[in-house]
Amino acid sequence: MKILFVHQNFPGQFLYLAPALQARGHECRALTDAGNKRDSKIPTLRYRHEMPPPDPKATRLGRNFTQMSDRGVTVARACLQLRDTHGYCPDVIFGHSGWGETLFLKEVWPDAKLIVYAEFYYRGVARDVGFDPEFSRAGFDAVMTAQARAAHLGQSLLHADAALAPTQWQASTYPPALQPLIRVIFDGVNTAVMAPNPQASITLPNGKVLRAGDEVLTFVNRNLEPYRGYHIFMRALPEVMAARPDAQVVIVGGDDVSYGAGAGAGETWKQIFLEEVKHRLDLGRVHFLGKVPYPQFVALMQISRAHAYLTYPFVLSWSMLEAMSAGAYVVASKTAPVEELITDGLNGRLVDFFDIPAWSAALTEALARPERFTPQRRAARQTILDGFDLQNICMPRLVDFVEAFAPKVQNVSGNT
């Protein structure tokens, strides 16, 4: 088959799938934003999208749809050029629906099968909006704004032949009428790489070496922000560090914003919440690494004695599953995306997102009594091996899912 992947940040969720399909003999290409500098062995084309932001006074609740559909138009025009100038016609298009890129691709290639990656469907209630009243209150205006943000997501599925979601809970965020289109298969965890390693170590910027077995508390996210509970973690930290004077705290994440609102002009969420508690911390034992190379992240999960993970009712992070696969003891927020994978006391610990004293107590106990949680570490890894392993479970299912859309070939008798 000719398969076109469309993702403004390619490879994104197609990191493993695209090369696997290419290795099976399919002709794979990718289309991504010109600003995306990530490398890939998949032949990649780039479109340039520089549409001005919509005027909020003119577009009102439609401004999100305006932005997403503008990008969709840009992508469609790039695809039109591929079709008309180069004669390119894919059999299957697999694109992420989150930024509007797939909205008009059926207008370019009506005979191609269109699969969309359905990551999350915004709702005005019972999701991220209003979950954390410190930053977002679910007033009626906020409810309407969130519902309006979902317009392009619904349209993307209505025009698709099928959709893929990584978890059952994320699939459940879509309206019931659209859920039959969605197949649930996780992207996959490379359990051969994300595996326990008693010889693992990392060297901190100050030259200190941390090894497996050391008293290390970890917190990892793409960016340090409220959606991923950075503020809760930092507020719990003083009590933990006071109780555990030998603990080293390693925090990974950038200063940007992946989800939700920014911190304000010239400020970062990282600095705001560090300033709030720094007078109660031994900053010589708190290490902010920023964004790190993947091998360093792997080693960090292998040496972690306790790993804290928090999230709003929103998209689940790959890093939580990878931490479980590495055999880390995960103390996580008792929120719906997490509860799909972690059962309290069986393969991790669940704590109410907002209960700061409970977070301090749970993390302190995890650092103080690591031997008590050895069975949960093993169970966490087994959870990933049994249901989310890349090579043995997820990739075969993903490949079968895509290859099911192969064009039917007629034989000489006219039968298919």
pLDDT tens sequence across 341-367: 999 999 999 999 999 999 999 999 999
Mean pLDDT for all residues in the chain: 94
* 3-class secondary structure, 28: strand
Domains and CATH numbers, the chain: 2-188+391-403 (3.40.50.2000), 201-388 (3.40.50.2000)
Q: Which tokens hold the place of 133?
A: 């009243």
Give the span between the Cα atoms of 168 and 339, in whole angstroms. Answer: 11
Global pTM value: 0.93
Question: Which pLDDT belongs to residue 358?
Answer: 98
Task: Supply the pLDDT for residue 141.
Answer: 81
Q: Mean pLDDT over residues 103-120, rounded?
A: 97
Q: Please give the Cα distance from 20 to 4 (Å, whole number).
A: 14
Q: Which residues lie closer than 8 Å to 305 by C-beta, 6 or more apart?
A: 214, 215, 216, 217, 329, 366, 367, 370
Residue 100's pLDDT band, with cuts at 50, 70 and 90, is very high
Residues 6+ apart with CB under 8 A from 359: 232, 233, 236, 308, 331, 351
Instruction: Please say whether the beta carbons of 332 and 351 come within 8 A.
Output: yes
pLDDT higher than threshold 70 for residue 410: no
User: Does the structure show a pLDDT above 90 at 145?
Assistant: no
Question: What is the separation of C-alpha 378 from the centre of its chain, rounded to a whole number of angstroms?
Answer: 24
Model confidence at 193: pLDDT above 90: yes
